[in-house]
Amino acid sequence: MIKAKRIIPNYSWISGIVKVKNTCQMVSKVFLSRLQGKRHLLYDVSEIVRRDAKTGIQRVVREFYLFLINNCPPGYVVYPICAGSDKPYSYLKINCFNMRYPYTSHRVKIKPGDIYCAMDLCQHIITKHSEELNHWKEKGALLYFFIHDLLPYLHPQWFNEADADVFISWLKSVTQLADGFLCSSKVVQQDIIQYMKAYYEPQKNILPQIIPLGANFTQSIRSKGFPSNAKALFAQWKERITILMVGTIEPRKGHDDILSAIEMLWLQGTELNLIIVGKAGWKTDTLQERIRCHPEKDEKLFWLEHISDQMLEKVYQNTQGLIFASQAEGFGLPLIEALYYKKAVLARDIPIFRETGGESVSFFKGEDRNTLSEEIHSWLNTIQQGKTQSRGYGRTWDDAGRELLSCLPLKKSEPGN
């Protein structure tokens, strides 16, 4: 006889995401749902259970998972699953988050109508297990993949060569396997369509479904904690106007351009703080050294490499505006987060920011530091004059979650009925 506890996937792989008063009651309920023949909504967490990079993609993975387990569609049970390079897809162990071996001994069992949902960028895993996933399709499962962007394919020069090659292999795998694509913007939707037209026959004609993301920090899953000098930083930032950049320091993000323009403003006597929030990325060693050794470091220039969501919220609240200088994005979470906190936003004038920011955002076109510094200075003046009041961004992760459910091919009746 199979014991219920052994076949139940873990619902608490992210600390604080689920609070269950009676674990035995939950186990019995989920086990009973299996006996009742409910379909499975299989949520792939293969990447995040090993390495939570704390980037926008992991935020998306956490938020959608939280919504699904709290809003499980009728006739389904949500199961977080994972695979390893030499391990097939299995249900998760209890308390497995960030464990080296998070698998149970129970492999995923597929029934017709089950839905596999990959919101994370599980590049190595999906490429490695494409045969297993294809076998699921043959058994009647439907495979849905969230494509955040196609940047390593479209602009490989911005990435390490090996990383771009891995991404391109993953992209080939998912476009061969997919029954449906999900994305967060029209820009990415069109990129996917163009890729499919270039490499596949017309019969592989899948229209990617667009799910604009939420901007709020969900309390139950946000990381918490403040650096020891947080109060001193907040006081320091109040001494002059303070603007913010959020994002991993990598070639396409535009940190170099903005810092050069801000340096000109400092030389001209502009009283201004610049905060950079984001971890050190790739192919930017010179820029990182420039920031770490800058004469204004910790005076007017601040680099917060590893901070919690709770601290990031406070940073938004204690600054006057965000500059988003990226040359390309799949969506741009920092932009809508800043709008959510009703902060002024100055963004590079590219299609994705026009789509996500609209009339609530100011745009710059300058490429050289002289023109860019003039555009930033003009934007700062409008902030000081109170003319850049944001209209805000009201879309939440619950809104995004409901749209996700509307995009999935959910069945109303039970299997066999």
Q: Which pLDDT band holds residue 221 (cuts at 50, 70, 90)? A: low
| pLDDT recorded at residue 59 | 86
Report d(CA 326, CA 356) in Å as an integer: 14
Beta pairing, strands 241-246 & 272-277: parallel
Span 238-256, average pLDDT: 96
Q: How buried is residue 368: exposed, middle or buried, by Cβ count under 10 Å (0-12/13-18/19+)?
A: exposed
Q: In Å, what is the CA distance from 223 to each residue of 14, 218, 247?
A: 10, 10, 17
Range name among 105-114, 283-292, 352-361 with the lowest pLDDT average: 105-114
Span 60-68, average pLDDT: 92
Whole-prediction pTM value? Answer: 0.88
Span 7-22, average pLDDT: 40
- 35-214+398-407: which CATH topology? Rossmann fold (3.40.50)
Tens digits of per-residue pLDDT, 194-208? 999 998 866 677 999
Span 325-344, average pLDDT: 95
* Percent of all residues in the chain with a pLDDT value above 90, rounded to a whole number: 69
Q: Cα–chain-centroid distance for residue 247?
A: 11
| pLDDT recorded at residue 53 | 67
Please indicate whether residue 67 or residue 223 has the higher confidence score (pLDDT): 67
How many Cβ atoms from other residues are within 10 Å of residue 268's Cβ? Answer: 9
Beta pairing, strands 142-146 & 115-118: parallel
- 229-394: which CATH topology? Rossmann fold (3.40.50)
Is the pLDDT at 104 greater than 90? The verdict is no
Q: In this structure, what token pair is assigned to residue 176? A: 């061969």
Beta bridge partners, 244, equal 275, 322
Tens digits of per-residue pLDDT, 108-147? 989 999 999 999 999 999 999 999 999 999 999 999 999 9
Is the pLDDT at 35 greater than 70? The verdict is no
Tens digits of per-residue pLDDT, 40-54? 999 999 998 887 767
Strand, helix or coil at 367?
coil
Region(s) of the chain under CATH 3.40.50.2000: 35-214+398-407, 229-394
